Amino acid sequence: MTLISRFKAYAQLLRPANIVTAIADIWAGFTVSGAAVLLFLPQVQEPSYWSILAWLTLSTIGLYGGGVAFNDIFDAKLDAVERPERPIPSGRASKLGAVFMASLFLIGGILAAFQVGKLSGYIAMAVAACALLYDAWGKHQSIFGPINMGLCRTGNLLLGISAIPTQVPELWPLGLIPLAYVSGITMVSRGEVHGKNKGALYGGLGLYGGIIVTLVIISFGKGKAGIQALPFIGLLAYMVFPPLIKAIQKQEPKLIGKSVKAAVISLIILNASLAAGFGGWLYGLVILLLLPISLRLAKIFAVT
């Protein structure tokens, strides 16, 4: 095996396309906290907010990359039967090497967060713990599994907000948005293999609808950006509702799978909507530009 092939195998464990969606969480939280506006003001502190943004971005790359790599490590035996083409069971990546890489990423993610402050470091530790809990146990639990997965995204958003620590106690309820969204995706995905799970599909539809309404209310209320967020929220609705409605009508596994993929991709749009609601359209657009990067990486590296 060539060095390039081995590198690609280990990179596949990190799921680069998915990491970009985690970066979107951080940037949205950073904007919501008010730190994004301070990027363009004269130097007011040391380290600068540009430095803080860089550390938090590095932190989520480490946390997400390490978390998803450990997912493959815990699933190595099962993948040997069901997905033998994956890096570890195929032998393209060793299990010991994967453990070393994943541990390095998780520890690096936590240490990067501590460069911002103690609160950021503690949140990063909580995200790492939630990721490992999900990998080892949570994903096998029908009720707690979706919540566990959602908590990882909640912690990631709060990690971005922690750029201004005093904002975390006030803005933490925003973390319920990614929690509900990921729970909705998980509900919908339960019919992806066999179909015929109309109740779960309607449950996902209800959660998505509630999130759209919540985003509008927040944008015109706490966020104060109002109308500037509407195009992003509209794009989110356009991405998630049509494929889900079609899946509800046909009840076919293939259509349900397409609905799930559309919702996962739209995590970036969800973050862009939050950022636009608090910072204005320009901040939402910056986050939305991560979408083509994620889509491009998805063509090179598997996302599941």
Give tens-digit pLDDT for 159-199.
999 999 999 999 999 999 999 999 888 888 866 555 567 88
Q: Report residue 284 as tokens.
A: 């939402």
Single-letter residue type at 136? A
Q: Is the pTM value of this prediction over 0.85?
A: yes
pLDDT for 292: 95
pLDDT for 213: 96
pLDDT for 179: 95
- In angstroms, the CA 39 to CA 98 distance is 37
Is residue 45 predicted with pLDDT exceeding 70?
no
- In angstroms, the CA 176 to CA 76 distance is 32
Kindly report the number of other CB atoms within 10 A of residue 173's CB atom. Answer: 9
Is residue 42 predicted with pLDDT exceeding 80?
no
